[in-house]
Structure 1
C-alpha cells in the first residue's frame, strides 16, 4: 500500500539522458531540447533537479561513453547525481531518502527510455505516494524488434505512456502529463 507524502516540494527527475540510452533514440534532438526547457524552468523556480544514470559493468560502465550524459545536457553544481542498476530509479538507490530530506512530494519525470526506466520510475513514484507529472514531450525510446518481423515503433511507445499517465488514477495522488513549456513547478497540491 502506498504512503501519501507530506510536503509540497516538486523535483525534476532526468532519467538516463546518457549517450548510450538517449543518444540515438527516437526524435532525440527534440526531446533533449525539451529536457533543457524543463531544466531552465525548474532551475528558475528553485526546484531540485536530480540526474539518474544507468550504470552496470556491461553496457554502461562508469566513465564510458555510453554512460556519459549527452553533451547538450549539463548538470549544474549542487544538482544531485545518482546511479542505478535497475529500471526504477527507486530500486536499490538512495532516491527515496534524498527526496524525503528535500520534502519532495511531486515528481516531474523526463528522459529515457520511455518503456523501461521512465515508466518504471513513474509507476514506482506513484506507488510510493508521490504525485507524478510526466513531461509528455521530453521522454523517448527506441523501437522494439520482437524478432518475428514485428516491430513496436518508438513513437507509439511514447504515446502509450502519455495516454496511460494522463488517465491513471491513484487515491490521494495526482498523475498527469504536461509539456516541458507548460509544466507547473508549483508547491500547491
Structure 2
C-alpha cells in the first residue's frame, strides 16, 4: 500500500497522448482504444482521470495541432489537466498537490512515450510514495532503433517486464491489462 498517509483513492493518469507524440508510434490505434476503455472504466467507477500534456518549444508548442490530445480521447468537464515540460509528470508541475487534494495514493498509468515520460513518471511516483500500476497494453513509443534503441515492441515488453517485478518498501508496483484493470478495488 502507498506510504502516503490518508490517500486511499486511485487515479488514472493519461500521459501525453497528443497528436505530435502519437504520430508514428507502435500500435497507435490499439493503444488509444485501450486508453479510451480505461477512461470509461475509471469514470464509471468514480475514479479521477488526470490528463497530462507535454509542452515544448520543439514539436509540442502550446496550442498547436501537435500539442492537442488525439481526437479519439476527450477530457470531460472537471477532469484535471496537468501541463508539464519534463519527462516526469511530477517534475515542476502541480500533479502532486492535485493528487494530494483528492486523497490519491494509487496511480494507474497509461500513455506515451514508454521509454521517456512513462518510465520517468512511474519512477517519480514510486519515489514520492505512490503505488503505481502500469497498464501493459496502454502505453507506446516511437521507433528509435535507427539510433541504437530496441524496436518499440521490445521497449514496451521490457518496460512491462521490469515494472511487473519492481519493488519499493511500503509501495506497490506492477502491471495490469486494459481488460483486467479494476478501478473498484484497492490492492
TM-score (norm 2): 0.95
* 1:165 counterpart residue number: 163
Q: Structure 1 residue 151: deviation in Å?
A: 4.7
Q: Secondary structure at the match of 1:152?
A: coil
Superposed CA RMSD in Å reads 1.3
Partner of 2:3: 4
Q: Deviations over 1:21-72 (max 9, x none)?
A: 1132000000000001100100000000011011012221111111011111
Give CA deviations for 1:79-129 in whole Å, capped at 9, x if unaligned: 101110000000000100110000000000000000000000011000101
Q: Which residue of 2 aligns with 1:185?
A: 183
In the other structure, the counterpart of 2:82 is 82
| Residue of structure 1 equivalent to 2:174 | 176
Answer yes or no: is the 8 Å Cα contact 1:88–1:124 preserved in 2.
yes
Partner-residue secondary structure (3-state), 1:123:
helix
TM-score by length of 1: 0.94
Number of residues of Structure 1 aligned to a counterpart in Structure 2: 185
Preserved CA contact (<8 Å) 1:23 1:70? no
SS of aligned partner of 2:19: coil
Distance 1:167 1:46 in 2: 29
Q: Which structure 1 residue ranges, 4+ long, deviate > 2 Å from structure 2?
A: 186-189
* Unaligned 5+ runs, structure 1: none
